[in-house]
Amino acid sequence: MPPAAVVALAAVGLLVAPVRVASTSMEPTLSPGDRLLVHTYGYGQGAPDRDDLVVFDRDGALLLKRVAAVAGETVGIEDGVLTVDGRPVREPAVDRRLVDGMYFGPVTVPDGTVFLLGDNRRGSVDSREFGPVPVERLTGRVLLRWWPRPGPP
């Protein structure tokens, strides 16, 4: 990102940081080596929305996942189909052929937390393993991918 663009974003009060994707857990949406611009102001002004791509701290490591469900919602996976409050969720980035036969939950997301999933369900360690993540552990929201294919993630 050109320095002038970073200065412009800082001038409007948007604190941003570059992040490099390190794993395959978000494929095909994001690939290892992709570089992202992350809004680091945090969620002190409100909770994240379902489908946001967020960065969070897990045991000293920064991870990147998608918000699948927010506090109060019931989330599950039925034969590879993500459901929230019993309704199927459209997920264009998830290859349904690779998740056929996958089941999880359902579980209700506690207050103050979010349920996070990787788009590459078979290759992601996410809330199915470590549980819902407290909102205060979220360090930012992905704004855009700037390398190698500029655009929305």
The backbone torsions φ and ψ at residue 58, rounded to the nearest 5 degrees and listed phi first, read -130, 105
Phi/psi zone of residue 92: left (φ > 0), alpha (ψ -120 to 50 degrees), beta?
Answer: alpha
Which residues form the catalytic set?
A: 25, 65
CA–CA gap between residue 47 and residue 118 (Å, rounded): 19
Q: What is the DSSP letter of 31?
A: -
CA-based nearest residue to 143, from 39, 54, 62, 49: 39
Q: What does the block give as tokens for 76?
A: 């599950």
